[in-house]
Amino acid sequence: MKTLIFLVLAVLGANAASVKTSAARSSFNAGFIAVGDTLLQRSIVYRGGRANEVQTETVSFNGNSTTRITAVQAHEQGEFSQRPTAWMISGGIGLNNVTVKFKSAVGRGYYYHLMVWGRP
């Protein structure tokens, strides 16, 4: 029961975040979390700002032959957006791996929570 409530909250959170995405946030939600899915990986992706620099990095999740990713969420943290961008560059929904790229605005940093959901 606890798990179910958590999943419902996670889905509601995902919907709320996706509404905000186009307006102010640099977050994304891909796919859908179904009941029975688990959090396969959660990563904190953080860089402080550096004068005049654009910073980038990639974060990957690699499952095994039975793994199926159902949802990928990159949620920018913090009260004010630093206007970074995040997007999937390979793998993704329905596959067993995903790589997400993060890119800062010039002189800014980023702070994300990256969640990969699915069947292990």
Ligand X SMILES: *[C@@H]1O[C@H](CO)[C@@H](O)[C@H](O)[C@H]1NC(C)=O
Q: Measured from the CB of residue 41, what is the shortest distance to ligand X in angstroms?
A: 8
Nearer residue to ligand X within complex by CB, 40 or 74: 40
- Give the total of residues touching ligand X (CB under 6 A): 10
Sign of CA dihedral 101, 105, 109, 113: negative
Nearer residue to ligand X within complex by CB, 18 or 97: 97
Alpha helices (H) along the chain: 2-21
Distance (Å, whole) CA 49 – CA 82 = 9
**Chain Cα centroid distance, residue 36:** 19
Give the up-direction half-sphere exposure of residue 21: CA atoms within 13 A in the CB hemisphere: 17
- Binding-site string for ligand X from residue 29 to residue 68, where x marks contact by CB under 6 A and - marks none: ---------------------------------xxx-xx-
Q: Does 84 bind ligand X (CB under 6 A)?
A: no
Nearer residue to ligand X within complex by CB, 19 or 95: 95
Burial of 92 (0-12, 13-18, 19+ CB in 10 A): middle
Q: Measured from the CB of residue 59, what is the shortest distance to ligand X in angstroms?
A: 13
Residues lying near ligand X in the complex (CB under 6 A) are found at 62-64, 66-67, 91, 95-97, 120
